[in-house]
């Protein structure tokens, strides 16, 4: 007779566990949640202390019958879903469905799927945790109250199929507010002055920037000021007045927590948060390693703790000593402190065994699995290595009333950086070059004095990595929710990705503005963060779940009732304009439709003429291009697959063509042009008009400028932190310049 029945979430995890436990235990999978709130109704009795009404999920009745049947063969039932709130809820619901008198039900927590961890968990099983389950239940009910009572308002006032979410709406708000900062930003002109210098008898030149003029921090407002300073300095000597050398250390970062893994995987591997979590789940649950069978490669991937087990620290230090030598090993283990409120029951994300080196098991992994596993491996190993050491040199150079400064840095010892460098350290333009040997009092040769125009830059749009960082810093959501939040706001059409950055759509702005006006507290960033703290307090048994829901709903109910009466009805709204109908001469009005704002004749239904508007709410931008069919001006429109040219005489003329970049396809014997397109995921790219016969494509925007270095027919441009970077797409060239 088996020792007991072990129930986990995933069939993949079952295979891994069977390798360790053999026939000692019956092992079954619930395949995720078995119960939830009903899909077609609120499912919460607000008047009866928010009592939830759970129902069996579609397709799960058969699984429950199988679990009940298996439970009759044993006396001990071990519930092993994931060690977090969601896993606790799954375990709780399973216990409710299969628990019978005479059965002992235990909770087991697997923080990693290794033989040692699994056997230890089964030898020391615990009990179901009511407080953790109540915290999950409170979150589920909160999200249901908001989603199922605000979403119908949006269906009525804006469009069917929309949704509001307690956390997702705040994420959209953050993106919209950043976009408005960008829109209202007024760039200011400023100039820099760079001296290219060389020591006497030296063959190596270096650049120094003007930092002070007439004893004050330099601020050159325009070209005239820059040229005046340049003229003054051109005939003056440049003398080294001070050299400061300092040894600096760069310390390794802690091993990954969920949010940091999502950010780094986006930056280094271009993985979405959703993709990162899917692959991490595969690595955690177990991957087939040939003769070794199913092996769990990493610890649990939903964590906000940087804690590492003592035994794991010992093993990684032994590995570092063996692979790199003692000079790379600190005398004592590096210790990291988790942020306030982190769940210290979990470890950081790390490899389960130092014997499973990425290159050794590479043949058994998919490309994506290998890349993510290696990223986790390298970060974990580097976290227990010595700091990198650099010699930083700062040189001050005087010329008349001008003070120039140059900084250089050379590595003395790479330390952890011999293995791993965080992506944020790799930004172009941030690197410090080494300086040639110089001495105080030395007079330098001036090779060039270069003034350059700059403009202050608006805040950057959020990428997946920076949005996750923003949500984490503001206390919005939890590590396990970020991937779902980002996925939902894209799927609902509230935002789109443009060159890897989130841009609010017209729909996103409309929904955000309506919800923020009518629910100022519920969708406030600070209030949402406080709710996350309340959920943590429920788990810590410092607060009751019913009490928390009452506090929330007292505010929410008032706003909800008011919004039902006073929220703008976008569907019924008619806004007069001065534009005239091209068919009957009547005034046009602005209306809201399924695809956003458009212009319609005020004499509808007698006149059905309509005209598209772009997302700024103005008529489509006219171009100098003429329609090949009727001769009317072409306008730029936004479509499902990106921007395109369309005849302004639509619907009388339906001629359209791709929006060309003015760059000819460089492929041999191809007469196509490079045009702008949009991928299925909404990302803009550029490809040949002769597709599929010609498959030339690139992500960066081509511009009709010949490369001055190799004469390639065009360059490509890409936004950077400091402006626009232009480079030659010819891999053998390497030409690059930044504006």
186 or 151, which is more confident: 151
Q: Which domain holds residue 450?
A: 189-250+390-455
pLDDT score of 346 more than 60 = yes
323 or 650, which is more confident: 323
In three-state secondary structure terms, 362 is: helix
Query: Domain total for the chain?
Result: 6
* Of 436, 497, 433, 431, residue with least CA distance to 464: 497
Distance CA 728, CA 713 (A): 9
Supply the pLDDT for residue 419: 95
Domain match, 61 and 46 both: yes
- Structure tokens given for 176: 């919209």
Please answer whether residues 297 and 351 qualify as being in contact, where contact means their C-beta atoms are separated by less than 8 angstroms.
yes
Percent of the chain having pLDDT more than 70? 94
Percent of the chain having pLDDT more than 90? 63
Supply the pLDDT for residue 430: 43
Supply the pLDDT for residue 618: 47
Pairing of strands 596-601, 610-612: antiparallel
H helix or E strand, kind and range, residue 599:
strand 596-601
Pairing of strands 701-703, 697-698: unpaired
* Of 282, 302, 639, 681, residue with least CA distance to 464: 681
Domain match, 510 and 558 both: yes
Q: How many CB atoms lie within 10 A of CB 560?
A: 18
Distance CA 523, CA 595 (A): 25
Distance CA 432, CA 406 (A): 10
- Structure confidence by residue, pLDDT tens digits, 455-514: 988 899 999 999 999 999 998 988 888 999 999 999 999 999 888 899 999 999 999 999
Please answer whether residues 81 and 577 qualify as being in contact, where contact means their C-beta atoms are separated by less than 8 angstroms.
no
Distance CA 515, CA 171 (A): 13
Domain match, 47 and 97 both: yes
Q: Active site residue: 78, 106, 300, 494, which one?
A: 300
Q: Given 519, 539, 566, which residue is the final one in a domain?
A: 566
Residue with tokens 């506090």: 551
Please answer whether residues 637 and 646 qualify as being in contact, where contact means their C-beta atoms are separated by less than 8 angstroms.
yes
Residue 377 neighbours by CB under 8 Å, 6+ apart: 351, 357, 358
- 709 forms beta bridges with none
Supply the pLDDT for residue 158: 93
Three-state secondary structure of 436-505:
CCCCCCCEEEEEEEEEEEEECCCCCCCCHHHHHHHHHHHCCCCCCCHHHHHHHHHHCCCEEEECCEEEEC
**Widest distance between CA atoms in the chain:** 98
Please answer whether residues 570 and 562 qualify as being in contact, where contact means their C-beta atoms are separated by less than 8 angstroms.
no
Distance CA 432, CA 408 (A): 5
What's this model's pTM, rounded to 2 decimal places?
0.77
- Please give the distance of CA 255 from its chain centroid, rounded to a whole number: 19
- Structure tokens given for 549: 């829901």
pLDDT score of 721 more than 80 = no
Domain match, 321 and 275 both: yes
Quick one: 102 exposed, middle or buried, by C-beta within 10 A (0-12, 13-18, 19+)?
exposed
- Give the CA count within 13 Å in the CB-facing half-sphere of 339: 11
In three-state secondary structure terms, 521 is: coil
Supply the pLDDT for residue 737: 81
- Structure confidence by residue, pLDDT tens digits, 164-220: 999 999 999 999 999 999 888 888 999 999 999 999 888 899 999 999 999 999 999
The pair phi, psi for residue 67, each rounded to 5°, is: -65, -40
Q: How many CB atoms lie within 10 A of CB 161?
A: 11
Please answer whether residues 155 and 161 qualify as being in contact, where contact means their C-beta atoms are separated by less than 8 angstroms.
yes
pLDDT score of 228 more than 60 = yes
Say which CATH number the domain at 519 has: 1.10.460.10
Three-state secondary structure of 568-596:
CCCCCCCEEEEEECCCCCCEEEEEEECCE
Domain match, 673 and 629 both: no
Domain match, 109 and 15 both: yes
Residues 483, 488, 494, 498, CA torsion sign: positive
- Structure tokens given for 105: 């039900």
Domain match, 656 and 673 both: no
Residues 152, 153, 159, 164, CA torsion sign: negative
Domain match, 275 and 364 both: yes
Once rounded to an integer, what is the mean pLDDT over residues 624-647?
71
Say which CATH number the domain at 439 has: 2.70.20.10
Burial per residue of 227-247, b for 16 or more beta-carbon CB atoms within 10 angstroms, e otherwise:
eebbeebeeeebebeeeeeee
- Alpha helix ranges (H) inside 257-413: 258-269, 273-285, 310-323, 358-361, 367-382
* 604 noted as active-site residue: no
pLDDT score of 616 more than 60 = no
Domain match, 176 and 209 both: no
pLDDT score of 399 more than 80 = yes
Peptide bond into 426 cis (omega under 30): no
Please answer whether residues 56 and 35 qualify as being in contact, where contact means their C-beta atoms are separated by less than 8 angstroms.
yes
Q: Given 632, 660, 688, which residue is the final one in a domain?
A: 660
Angle among Cα 452, 453, 456 to the nearest 5 degrees reads 130
H helix or E strand, kind and range, residue 331:
none
Once rounded to an integer, what is the mean pLDDT over residues 44-71?
94
Supply the pLDDT for residue 642: 57
110-119, 148-157, 399-408, 423-432: the lowest-pLDDT one: 423-432
Once rounded to an integer, what is the mean pLDDT over residues 528-551?
93
Burial per residue of 255-294, b for 16 or more beta-carbon CB atoms within 10 angstroms, e otherwise:
bbbbbbbbbbbbbbbebbbbbbbebbbbbbbbbebeeeeb
Domain match, 119 and 25 both: yes
pLDDT score of 429 more than 60 = no
pLDDT score of 118 more than 50 = yes
Say which CATH number the domain at 279 has: 1.10.290.10
Supply the pLDDT for residue 578: 82
* Chain mean pLDDT for the chain: 89
Say which CATH number the domain at 19 has: 3.40.50.140
Domain match, 609 and 713 both: no
Supply the pLDDT for residue 706: 86
Residues in the chain: 739
* Of 676, 182, 662, 171, residue with least CA distance to 460: 182
Please answer whether residues 682 and 641 qualify as being in contact, where contact means their C-beta atoms are separated by less than 8 angstroms.
no
Please answer whether residues 646 and 635 qualify as being in contact, where contact means their C-beta atoms are separated by less than 8 angstroms.
yes
Distance CA 139, CA 146 (A): 11
- 408 forms beta bridges with 393
Supply the pLDDT for residue 614: 58
- Structure confidence by residue, pLDDT tens digits, 62-97: 999 999 999 988 999 999 999 989 999 999 999 999
Pairing of strands 287-288, 701-703: unpaired
Domain match, 678 and 589 both: no
630 or 360, which is more confident: 360
Angle among Cα 455, 456, 461 to the nearest 5 degrees reads 120
In three-state secondary structure terms, 322 is: helix
- Structure confidence by residue, pLDDT tens digits, 161-173: 899 999 999 999 9
Q: Given 660, 682, 707, which residue is the final one in a domain?
A: 660
Distance CA 461, CA 182 (A): 8
Residue with tokens 């759970």: 54
* Of 627, 694, 635, residue with least CA distance to 667: 694
H helix or E strand, kind and range, residue 688:
strand 684-688
Supply the pLDDT for residue 495: 94
700 or 280, which is more confident: 280
DSSP state letters, 201-227: T-S-EEEEEEEEETTEE--B-SHHHHH
């Amino acid at each position: 007779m088996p020792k007991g029945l072990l129930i986990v979430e995933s069939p993949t995890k079952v295979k891994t566990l069977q390798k360790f436990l053999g026939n000692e235990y019956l092992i079954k999978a619930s395949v995720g949640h078995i119960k939830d709130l009903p899909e077609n109704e609120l499912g919460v009795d607000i008047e009866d202390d928010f009592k939830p009404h759970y129902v069996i999920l579609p397709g799960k009745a058969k699984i429950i019958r199988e679990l009940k049947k298996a439970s009759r063969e044993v006396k001990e039932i071990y519930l092993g879903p994931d060690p977090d709130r969601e896993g606790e809820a799954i375990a709780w619901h399973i216990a409710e469905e299969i628990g019978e008198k005479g059965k002992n039900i235990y909770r087991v927590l697997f923080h990693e799927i290794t033989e040692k961890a699994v056997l230890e968990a089964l030898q020391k099983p615990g009990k179901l945790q009511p407080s953790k389950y109540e915290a999950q239940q409170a979150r589920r009910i909160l999200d249901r109250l908001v989603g199922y009572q605000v979403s119908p308002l949006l269906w009525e006032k804006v469009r069917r199929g929309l949704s509001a979410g307690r956390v997702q709406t705040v994420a959209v708000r953050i993106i919209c507010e950043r976009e408005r900062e960008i829109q209202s930003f007024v760039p200011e002109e400023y100039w820099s002055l760079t001296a290219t210098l060389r020591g006497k008898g030296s063959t190596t030149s270096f650049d120094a920037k003007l930092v002070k003029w007439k004893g004050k921090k330099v601020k050159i407002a325009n070209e005239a000021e820059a040229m005046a300073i340049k003229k003054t300095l051109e005939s003056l000597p440049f003398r080294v007045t001070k050299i400061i050398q300092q040894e600096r250390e760069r310390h390794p970062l802690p091993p990954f927590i969920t949010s940091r893994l999502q950010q780094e995987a986006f930056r280094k591997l271009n993985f979405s948060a959703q993709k990162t979590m899917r692959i991490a789940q595969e690595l955690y649950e177990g991957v087939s390693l040939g003769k070794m069978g199913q092996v769990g490669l990493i610890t649990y991937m939903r964590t906000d703790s940087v804690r590492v087990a003592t035994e794991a620290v010992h093993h990684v230090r032994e590995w570092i000593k063996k692979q790199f030598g003692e000079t790379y090993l600190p005398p004592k283990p590096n210790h990291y402190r988790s942020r306030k409120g982190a769940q210290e029951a979990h470890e950081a994300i790390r490899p389960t065994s130092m014997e499973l080196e990425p290159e050794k098991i590479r043949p058994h992994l998919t490309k994506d699995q290998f890349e993510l596993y290696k990223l986790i491996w390298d970060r974990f190993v580097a976290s227990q290595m010595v700091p990198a050491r650099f010699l930083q040199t700062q040189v001050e150079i005087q010329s008349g009333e001008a003070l120039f400064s140059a900084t250089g840095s050379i590595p003395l010892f790479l330390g952890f950086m011999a293995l791993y460098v965080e992506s944020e350290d790799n930004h172009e333009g941030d690197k410090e070059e080494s300086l040639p040997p110089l001495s105080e009092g030395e007079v330098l040769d001036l090779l060039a004095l270069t003034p350059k125009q700059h403009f202050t830059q608006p805040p950057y749009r959020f990428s997946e990595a920076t949005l996750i960082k923003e949500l984490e810093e503001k206390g919005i959501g939890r590590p396990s929710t970020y991937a779902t939040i980002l996925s939902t706001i894209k799927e609902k059409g509230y935002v789109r990705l443009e060159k890897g950055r989130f841009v609010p759509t017209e729909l996103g702005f409309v929904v955000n503005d309506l919800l923020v006006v009518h629910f100022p507290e519920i969708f406030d960033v600070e209030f949402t963060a406080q709710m996350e703290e309340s959920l943590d307090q429920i788990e810590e048994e410092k607060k009751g779940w019913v009490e928390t829901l009452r506090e929330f709903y007292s505010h929410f109910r008032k706003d909800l009732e008011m919004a039902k009466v006073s929220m703008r009805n976008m569907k019924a709204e008619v806004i007069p304009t001065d534009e005239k109908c091209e068919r009957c001469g009547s005034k046009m009005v602005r209306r809201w439709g399924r695809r956003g704002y458009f212009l319609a004749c005020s004499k509808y239904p007698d006149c059905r003429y309509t005209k598209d508007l772009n997302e700024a709410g103005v008529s489509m931008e006219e171009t100098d291009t003429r329609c090949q069919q009727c001769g009317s001006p072409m306008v730029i429109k936004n479509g499902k697959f990106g921007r395109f040219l369309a005849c302004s005489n639509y619907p009388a003329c339906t001629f359209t063509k791709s929006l060309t970049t003015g760059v000819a396809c460089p492929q041999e014997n191809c007469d196509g042009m490079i045009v702008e397109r949009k991928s299925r995921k909404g990302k803009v790219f550029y490809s040949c008009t002769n597709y599929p016969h010609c498959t030339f494509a690139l992500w960066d925007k081509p511009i009709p400028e010949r490369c001055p270095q190799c004469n390639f027919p065009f360059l490509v441009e890409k936004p950077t932190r400091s402006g626009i970077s232009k480079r030659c797409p010819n891999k053998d060239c390497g030409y690059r310049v930044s504006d």
